[in-house]
Structure 1
Amino acid sequence: MTKQWVATRPGGSETFELVDVAVPAPGPGEVTVSVRAAGVNPADAKHTQDGDPADFPLPIGYEVAGVVTAVGPDTDIASGPVAPGDEVLAFRVRGGWAEAVTLPARDVFAKPPAMGFAEAANLLLAGTTAADLIRVTDVAAGETVLVHGASGAVGVSLLQQLRMLGARAIGTASAANTDTVRRSGGEWVPYGDGLEARVRDLAPHGVDVALDCVGSDEAVDVSLALVADRARIATIAAFTRAPDAGITAIGGSQPESAAFRDAVRQRLVDLAGRGELVVPVARTFPLTEARAALDLLESGHPGGKIALLP
């Protein structure tokens, strides 16, 4: 038996309970992982808000890092051969907020040796989302990109990936997060009244692309004012406004996005292994304190990624 967090009914974190569950032995195409860190993401609570009560309890947690304890027959992981004792990371999984979990091997990758478990457990959800935003807007080297919410998890990954691409990134954030934006490769600009004018001052020749990670009306309005081609504005949060505004809204459940995000995982792991893609971790919590971890995340000011440590 192992401890695992589940949502007992539709709702927020108030429905989460830490329960005892059996960990099945891995079959063909599966591995069992002793979880050393589990990533904490907004999606962990969002996907339990609605749904058929008959589908509950639902296991929580989309990404983990840990040590392989068992391997199914004739099984390799996504990055190649695997054996008990190997350090790995995994995304996209179900039930990662646990002490141990049996996973499809196709979603498991060798952990770069230089990465800590907390960093590895927070690499791929944000990283693949950022890569998807770049894909749908077809960002090219030399272009100027405005990133709303640049100090958040997706924003930080975006800034680093844009820098590697050779694009110029201007990132909105609070004054407290100026260094985060600059350290990740962006030019900081404060959000709030007058944002459009401040961006125009920084980019007098125009903004080619706008990528929204916050979903505020300000982010959408300023993007529409600055970017001539609405096909080059994308959001991961402003789903209500996107259709009327004629901009692209993406999510991991969309088939095209899901396929791309799965395909780009190994590239992001390789970048992290070379130190080119860094995951800033603000704080870790014991597995038993998952609700407190979510409270910090939902405060909007975690200062970096959060991990649960069984």
Structure 2
Amino acid sequence: ARPRPRGPLAGAAVAVVLAALVVGGGLAIPTPTAGRPVTVAVVQGNVPRLGLDFLGQRRAVLDNHVRETRRLAEEVRAGRVPRPELVIWPENASDLDPFTEPDAYQAIDGAVRDIGVPVLVGALVETPDGKRIENRGIVWDPKTGPGNYYVKRHPVPFGEYLPFRDVLTKLIKRFERVPRDFVKGDRSGVMKLGPVTVGDVICFEVAYDKETRDSAPGDVMVVQTNNATYGETSLPPQQIAMSRLRAVEHGRAVLVAATSGISAIVAPDGRMIAESREFVPALQVAAVPARTSRTIADRLGALPEWALTVAALAAVAAALGPARRRRR
């Protein structure tokens, strides 16, 4: 009998072995969770209504987050919850530029002074020429006011900036909802916030390896997000799943602050410490470990991805080689 070609079987065997090594190796690596405890708070102020209409309710969204932060301060003074050492607001908590809108500045500053600890405020800020917008996470101190900030590095095309604006706005009137482009940030979101260093990413930057890897040097990771336009869909749970993955990948607690949910506090091993419902005001207060050690994923970076890609291509080549020779 003619022997069967071994090329395809060998390629399949290599793929199976590699998959087993990846899965088994991951299970064999311990997930670190120890660290200096820090008490954190996540504020979910909620939005007036579901969908795109919330964009016309900017002051109401800001007022909701101010109100919840003041409620947190009352809970602390009453002894019902521990005093947090830092507070996280979501992306778009203030779509009113606090540097050009005095009322917005005073509202934010008053809430921060009331709670008495630094707050990471998600706000939209105009560029000096007024032509573009920065999507910022601003460190707001109760004594010194706004300070360091992170600008979102991955604005969403057709949502936060419009490619081929001159052409598309003439063809599709809906794009008038994006009157100005968002600026791309040029540095990571690693910043001092109270007693710790946080690594901030905004919205679906949590899906990008580079942005999250650049933020991993923070003691705690933060995801500021606004999911109001996608409420009650599969998107908010998907984002939480990504945040849990990043927690395990980098060995960091992850604080997810969403305007309308789902907000969450995730332990470094991916466990859910707290989780909110959607479209309700919510406060979350918990102690999480502030960690400085690096994981294997931090050290290796993108190397495993490239190695697996090369191995997959090699397996395909091994499988196709004998078939080509037989055709000759």
Please say whether Structure 1 and Structure 2 have the same fold, judged by a TM-score greater than 0.5.
no
Identify the structure with the greater helix proportion.
Answer: 2
Structure with the larger RCO, 1 or 2 (CA within 8 Å, 6+ apart):
2
Which of these two proteins has the greater Rg computed from alpha carbons?
Answer: 2
Q: What is the TM-score normalised by the length of structure 2?
A: 0.27
